[in-house]
Structure 1
Amino acid sequence: MAKIISFATQKGGSGKSTLALVLAAPLATEYGLRIAVLDCDYQQSIVKTREQVDADNFEELLKTNPAAQYPYDVFALGLGQVFDFIDDPEKDYDLIIVDVPGRADGDDVFNVLTACDAVIVPLVSDYLDRASTAEFMNILEAIKKSADTHGIAFQYFGLSTKRVAGRREEKQMDDYIDGLGLARFNSYLSNRVAYSRASTLYSLLNPAWLRYAGGNKETADEIRRLCDELVERLDLPTRKAAPAGTGKNSTASTDSN
């Protein structure tokens, strides 16, 4: 049965769609996971990346490798369609990633969050973001307590994004979240331009794409640490991955509402 996670926050610009982009490709190509990304955000950043940014590269790839596929599937869905998707027995995935809208003011968002095995909240250390993010995580803590009471598996984690080494606000954010007793990842993503160039076709662990995106060994090490921690915390299976750039899912698709 697929594990379901979402990247969620009530604060825009925190990097939740970027997190999905950065992690999905390496989890598919390096860890061998069958992955579906459900893009439910109004901005459709992940769908647009595939359709507008990656399409030309994919066409070029097909010229040399006619059997090439995208490494994971992307679906544009409304929040009301998520349950039909995850309940469909024909959907054979190890991990379903849901990118929800950046708000916390509707039952539709919270209904989807409660269907997840884990919710991952981007933590941005700016002072104005801190209280809003903690408020959202306290809501998730309430959901977790209710889920525990009913014997339902549910986890949530904060995950530092756009982290700047040595900045005192980063430590303040860590101390703030820890002081509230809220869960967070030990790994993080720094404020790197390479992450803004994440692709739905190539993993940033692919050396050629990493160089093209302006990344380096530290970038790759950061992604690996985060992937390893995610796999461990969610008890995800890992398999021998397909060769980089060949894809591994049976289909490469972008569905519309």
Structure 2
Amino acid sequence: MKTNYKTVFVAFSSQKGGVGKSTFTTLAASTLHYRLGYNVAVFDADFPQHSLMKMKTRDLSMVMENDFLKKAAFRQFTAINKKAYPILQHKAEGVLQAAQDFLESSTVPVDYIFFDLPGTVNTPGILKALAGMHHIFTPITADRVVMESTLVFTQLMKDVIMKKGATSIKTINLFWNQVDGRERSPLYEVYNKLISELGLSLMDCQIMNSTRFRKESEADARTIFRCTLMPPDQRLMNSCGMDRFINEFLRITKS
């Protein structure tokens, strides 16, 4: 591939488990690769779970056992004329070099590499890996424990790692996740003000709370949401706000 091609390194990162890092990685990667025409790769460095590697294995089995999805996948891959995006397993330590080695050997230019990283700063190599990202996206919920953990972590990234200069980070972007549209919690206003006062970036989009984020497609499904082989259903994207997230994501990463 051309050495001057600018591949964007992205991580969904948080110091709080269960906020959806792997889910958002899958949704963004699959939307960009299968629907929007970008070439994507994913490094699953969330040792020892490696949940994305396991998800791809389950997705392959599900598609092969479901005649409707099998035909849909065949039509998709024939139309886009490219393979499924690769998911490569690695530890956080050394993952940046592994990504560079992958780019060197790639026969096609890669637009985005997503990194699914561990959720603790104690993991060997994690801070160096995060410092090598171009853009970090951090899901937040209106929960005191989540917010305290996230804001401390984000301040560390912004005030220590980014100011030292030995980093590739261009933006760190917080975004509201699991928002209940029926509830107007005063916590949102409080935290929005705090985020602004700390000089942190908050995305305009909000991801609505949905059971779709917590389950994969059933064996007899005719719609796809969280899947490594096909893009999420457009209606489901619209209903939870992921369509607006992707538009804002592209504005940030392509600017």
TM-score (normalizing by structure 2) = 0.78
Q: Are residues 1:52 and 2:58 paired?
A: yes
Residues 99-178 of structure 1 correspond to what in structure 2 (within 5 A)?
Answer: 99-142=116-159, 143-147=161-165, 152=168, 154-165=170-181, 166-178=184-196
CA 1:231 to 1:78, structure 2 compared with 1: closer, same or farther past 3 Å?
Answer: same
Alignment length (residue pairs): 225
Please provide the CA RMSD for this pair. 2.5
Name the CA distance, whole Å, in 2 between partners of 1:174 and 1:232: 21
- 1:248 corresponds in structure 2 to none
Query: Contact (CA 8 Å) 1:9, 1:104: kept in 2 or not?
Result: no
Q: Letter of the aligned partner of 1:227 in structure 2?
A: I
If asked which structure has higher relative contact order (CA below 8 Å, sep 6+), I would say: 1
Partner of 1:239: none
Instruction: State the one-letter code of the partner of 2:56.
Output: R
Give the conservation status (yes or no) of the 8 Å contact 1:7–1:16.
yes
Question: Counterparts of 1:183 and 1:175 in 2: how far apart (Å)?
Answer: 11
**Matches of 2:168 and 2:227, distance apart in 1:** 34
Deviation at 1:23, TM superposition (A): 1.3
How many angstroms apart in 2 are the aligned matches of 1:71 and 1:102?
26
Amino acid at match of 1:127: R
- Is the 8 Å Cα contact of residues 157 and 182 (structure 1) preserved in structure 2? yes
Provide Cα deviations, 1:36-76, integer angstroms capped at 9, x if missing partner.
Answer: 11111132221111112443314655578396665422112
CA contact (8 A) 1:6 1:97 kept: yes
Between 1:124-133 and 1:187-196, the stretch displaced more is 187-196
Alpha-carbon deviation of 1:81?
Answer: 4.0
Counterparts in 2 of 1:71 and 1:172: CA distance versus 1, 3 Å: farther
Are residues 71 and 103 of structure 1, via their aligned partners in 2, closer, same or farther at CA, if it must alter by over 3 Å?
same
Instruction: Select which of 95, 117, 122 maps to 2:112.
Output: 95
Mind listing any 5+ residue stretches in structure 2 that lack a counterpart? Answer: 1-5, 217-225
Runs ≥4 residues deviating over 6 A: none
* 1:14-93 pair list within 5 angstroms: 14-42=19-47, 43-58=49-64, 60=67, 65=74, 71-88=84-101, 89-91=104-106, 92-93=109-110
Match among 218, 229, 239 for residue 218 of structure 1: 239
Name the CA distance, whole Å, in 1 between partners of 2:167 and 2:52: 33
Q: Secondary structure at the match of 2:105?
A: coil
Structure 1: runs of 5+ lacking an equivalent? 237-257
Are the counterparts in 2 of residues 4 and 98 from structure 1 also a CA contact under 8 Å? yes
Percent identity over paired residues: 21
Q: Describe the SS at the equivalent of 2:203.
A: coil
Change (3 A) 1:47 1:15: same
Given residue 98 of structure 1, which amino acid in structure 2 is its aligned partner?
F
Instruction: Please state if 1:194 is matched with 2:212.
Output: yes
Contact 1:122-1:160 within 8 A present in 2 as well: yes
- SS of match in other structure, 1:23: helix
Describe the SS at the equivalent of 2:139: strand
